[in-house]
Amino acid sequence: MRVLVTRPRPDADRTAAELSARGHAHLVAPLFTVVIDADARIDLAGVQAVLVTSANGARALAAVTDRRDIHVLAVGDASAEAACDGGFGLVTSAAGDVDTLAALVYARLSPADGRLLHVTGSVIAGDLAGRLGAAGFTIERAVLYRASPVDSIPEAMEEVLRAGTLDAALFYSPRTAARFVELLIQAKLADACGEMLAVALSPAVAAKLGPVPFAAIRVAEEPHQESLLQALDSAAPIRTGL
Q: How confident is the model at residue 159 (pLDDT cuts 50, 70, 90)?
A: very high
- What would the mean pLDDT of 144-155 be, rounded to a whole number? 92
Topology at the third CATH level for domain 34-146: Rossmann fold (3.40.50)
What is the C-alpha separation between 114 and 104, in angstroms, rounded?
A: 16
What would the pLDDT profile of 100-137 be if each residue is shown by its tens digit?
A: 999 999 999 999 999 999 999 888 777 888 889 999 99
- Look at residue 240 in the predicted model and tell me its pLDDT: 36
Q: Which amino acid is at 218?
A: R
For the chain, the structural domain boundaries read 2-31+150-233, 34-146
Poorest-confidence range of 100-114, 143-157, 198-212, 223-237?
223-237
What is the fold of 2-31+150-233? Rossmann fold (3.40.50)
- Residue 162: strand, helix, or coil: helix
Residue 41 has pLDDT above 50, yes or no: yes
Short-list 234, 159, 164, 157, CA closest to 193: 164
Which pLDDT tens digit goes with each residue over 17-31?
Answer: 999 999 999 999 999
Instruction: Give me the phi and psi of 120, to 5 degrees please.
Output: -140, 175
pLDDT in the model for residue 236:
55
Judge contact between 73 and 99, C-beta under 8 A. no
